[in-house]
Amino acid sequence: MDGRKKYRARRAIAAVMAALMLCALFAGCEKRQIVAGVPGDGKQITTANAVVAEFCRDYKPGTSEDLREYSDMYYPAGVDLEWSYATADSPLYAFVVVSRHKDPRAALAKYETAAGTGKTGESNEADVTGVNGEAAAEAQTGLTPALDPDDTRRYVTAGTSVHIDDLLVNTDYYWQVEAVYADRVVRSDIFRFHTRHDFRTLNVPRVSNTRDLGGYSAAGGKTVRQGMIYRGANVDGANADTRRVMLDELGIRTDLDLRAPGEGKAGGTSSPLGKEVNYVNISAPLYLGIKDEEKQPALAEEIRLFADEANYPVYFHCAIGRDRTGTLAMLLLGLLGVPEDMIRRDYEMSFLSYSGSADKTPVKTMLDGNFEPTLAYIKTLAGKTLSDKTVSFLKSIGITQEEIDSIRSIMLR
């Protein structure tokens, strides 16, 4: 009797295992019904357009002179994700989730909770029946990427591709397709791609010369955080599309305006981006003007703003985003330990924009007459590295070691 019970138990266990194997095989077949096309799984891609890619590849001081056309030439190319279906029938539409998180759907659920949508990232019966791709797309509005450190995005399409802009650079992204058919939902495997270590330029409507100050390699094997500090030209012409990008997508909290009061809209009571943005107007020195002791308190006030994490993300600008903005960027990047060559490249990127090149001043004139003398002055100060020398300068104008440590703690990873 005991032998028969053991035999039946073994048979039952074997049947359960066989059922589990069949389920796993079926699930695998379901996933393999969706095949990644472009980029191929695990591939490295560039988010830069052809002009910026050439600027990066062939750079030497003055490279932008031969490339510029006195227009905004820096817009990112973005990324096209493409896939195919290995089924006879086609889905009604598909959700595509893209995230830095290795499990995009788990990140989406967390993200939607943070955004207060009340969604869980799961499809339900209402999703499958009676909803077309256009209506589904409308249902997904209201999510705010700035709330999510995993940079999670959700797209809806009736086709087999989506276009993505403003990805972080030098970053692994994971993506998954969820195809909704009339009678079922099929999810793909999780695919991966890596963005190259390019400039993270941005396309902000009605604002020129815009880019992330992050993504650069720094001393000690660290990297300057992306999505924290942005630079560019003035935002006086901001409209609803500008605000959608700057506020909803980039999450700007502080508008640091380096212009003199009365210059454009500088000195007003609020930012053109909206009253919810912290507007700070400090008339900044530029280039060797940083040596002027009368202007140094204002410069210290600018730097001090970056020591308070509550101010981030920060968008700082002057009129055209090149001179006063470039001077502050030089000091911030120097403080963070970014190599001299990359600071120079960041400065010169402005000449690939309309606002940064509108005065048609030769690039060599700006480099030799302004940027290089300012950098050379900083390099005369005490310290072994450019970062040390920048710190020496900042301490000389009143910035404390505590404030320096705070900026580095916020901005370096």
Query: Are 176 and 218 in a shared domain?
Result: no
| Coil vs helix vs strand at 178 | strand
Q: What is the pLDDT of residue 143?
A: 42
pLDDT at 40: 85
Q: For helices 401-411 and 296-305, what crossing angle results, to 10°?
A: 40
Say yes or no: 191 and 55 in one domain: yes
Contacts of 19 (CB under 8 A, 6+ apart): none
Q: What pLDDT does 329 receive?
A: 98
- Residue 324 lies inside a defined structural domain of this protein: yes
At 278, list the tokens.
């912290």
Q: Do residues 109 and 43 share a domain?
A: yes
The pLDDT profile of the chain, 413 residues, written as one tens digit per residue, is: 555 555 555 555 555 444 434 344 444 445 568 998 888 889 999 999 999 999 999 999 999 999 999 999 999 998 999 999 988 889 999 999 999 999 999 988 887 666 565 454 444 433 333 333 444 443 343 344 455 678 888 999 999 999 998 899 999 999 999 999 999 999 999 999 999 988 999 999 999 999 999 999 999 999 999 999 999 999 999 999 999 999 999 999 999 999 999 999 999 999 999 999 999 999 989 999 999 999 999 999 999 999 999 999 999 999 999 999 999 999 999 999 999 999 999 999 999 999 999 999 999 999 999 999 999 999 999 999 999 999 999 999 999 999 999 999 999 99
Collapse the DSSP code of 234 into the 3-class scheme (helix H, G, I; strand E, B; otherwise coil) and give the result.
coil
CATH code of the domain covering residue 274 = 3.90.190.10
Preceding amide of 76 cis, omega within 30? no
pLDDT at position 142: 38
Asked whether 304 and 335 are in contact (CB, 8 A), the reply is: no
95 in a structural domain: yes
CA-to-CA separations, 380 to 295, 338, 348, in angstroms, rounded? 20, 18, 23
359: helix, coil or strand? coil
Closest CA to 313 of 379, 245, 372, 373: 245
Longest dimension (CA), the chain: 100
Q: Are 395 and 299 in contact (CB under 8 A)?
A: no
Whether 101 is covered by a domain: the verdict is: yes
My answer on whether 187 and 226 are in the same domain is no
Domain that includes residue 263, residue range? 211-411
pLDDT for res 28:
44
CA proximity to 343, closest of 366, 320, 365, 326: 326
Which pLDDT score, from 0 to 100, does residue 23 have?
A: 43
Task: Give the pLDDT score at 131.
Answer: 36
42 lies in the same domain as 175: yes
What is the pTM assigned to this prediction?
0.85
Angle at 192 between CA 189 and CA 193, to 5 degrees: 150
* Residue 21 belongs to some domain of the structure: no
What is the Cβ-side half-sphere exposure of residue 150, based on CA atoms within 13 angstroms?
23
Contact present, 184 and 124 (Cβ < 8 Å): no
Instruction: For residues 145 and 158, give the distance between their C-alpha atoms in angstroms, rounded to a whole number.
Output: 23
Q: How far apart are CA 104 and CA 107, in angstroms?
A: 5
pLDDT of residue 136: 40
What confidence score (pLDDT) does residue 88 get? 85
Classify residue 76: in a domain, yes or no: yes
244 and 268 in a single domain? The answer is yes
pLDDT of residue 149: 76
Distance separating alpha carbons of residues 350 and 52, to the nearest angstrom: 11
Closest CA relative to residue 169, chosen from 66, 335, 56, 72: 56
- Domains identified in the chain, total number: 2
User: For residue 5, is it within any domain?
Assistant: no
